[in-house]
Structure 1
Amino acid sequence: MAYLYDTFRLLGSRPLRALWDLDVGGVHHVPRRTGAIVAANHLSVCDEYFLMSAVPRRMTFWAKEEYFTGTGASGAGMRLLMRGLGAIPVQRAGGREALAALAAALPVLRGGGLVCVYPEGTRSPDGRLYRGRTGVAHLAMAAGVPVVPVGITGTDRVQPIGRRLPAWERGAVSIRFGAPLPPPPAPEGSPLRSAREFTAAVMDAVQGLSGLPYVDMFAPPRARTAA
């Protein structure tokens, strides 16, 4: 039960929007009652909270598996937070372990819910947009739901990588939602090629919404360990 999600929406959303001048555009593209994938670029650990404030529906987030396996008091606190937000753990190394995240997301989407993913797989280390991974395409094809591209800017200034708490100075954060991209049809040839082409289309839309420079490579490993 995502009890912390609902608590944040009730008590924290309005102050967050005011303090950092959150500017939201195109949120009408998010379906009101049907399932969809919300695919955004990833600049900061606080992206989730701004997205939660921008979207009037509950979303289920994919979150890296390390958030659920930490040790000590900080690890326990992070597990409590992730479970309270209703997040789904993702094994970023790929392979069979990563399929568990797809399996967990399918009932949410087929039940008319929203699942938010970051196709880059990690936070950007330098504010640029990196190549997307194909999980978003495989999930869209399996669930038969559209993907709503999202461009986020400004959150890397609110809470840069390595900073535990956000900067409390006023600043502008922008979130732009684009028109939904219908899931690709069942491929006649290679499913991997179809997934790559669809992922490229998603990232092209995200780049257009965010205005961030695009890097045609996966985010470097050092960013993945920090995300």
Structure 2
Amino acid sequence: MAPPVSESPPVETLDLWLLEAAMELPTPLHMLVEPNPHIALNMADDPRLSREELCERLSLLAERGLIRVHALPDGLQELFSPEEISSAIDARQSRTPFGYSLTDAGGAIWEHHARPDWSRFVNAGQEPSADEAQDAWVIEAASLEAADAEFHFHESLGDVHQPVGESKHGEVLTPWQVTYWKTLPHGYRLRYVTVPRPADPARSRSVPSRPPWYTRVWL
């Protein structure tokens, strides 16, 4: 059960942006100081904070228990002060880079403002495969119908990966670990393979964009 949402002190738009940036995966700190962090993080915009402001904001979120600033992927060492966080940003090339992730409380705050429709959330990606002739892919969604719709969406794309319908294999997930901080009672996983096909840029451009499944932060 998610913890109760506390609005004291209030959550500002910049805080919500930082929570959104780590909503699906823990975010490496160095990505926040890229020239265009919204591009690196696949977001619509970015707050253009100074480094000092960024570290102070992350520190406050950590002190409030909404995020964990830690060594990746899931290190036990946590950082809280702006000075520690600033030093960790410079350690991007180390063997244990630092990032931040949402706590249950941070996830609850994000949900309260973003109002996500988890029935429309889909996690799709490529899996390692020992068969060099075929690429293995996986789709996770709230239902068989949602997973199958995502499969057909990939069929419609003009990229170089042609899904093979006969290879589809599904399983029910009980429970479903939607993200690293969010679990739902049920979900569905669909696995399939693809074969190469010529790229079709015109076909890719004709595929309509899908509306977001949650309310995004606009700065």
The structure whose residues are more often strand, as a share, is: 2
The interval holding the TM-score normalised by the smaller chain is: under 0.3
The structure whose residues are more often helix, as a share, is: 1
Q: TM-score, normalization: structure 2?
A: 0.25
Q: TM-score, normalization: structure 1?
A: 0.24
Higher relative contact order (CA 8 A, sep 6+): 1
Specify the structure having the higher radius of gyration (Cα): 2
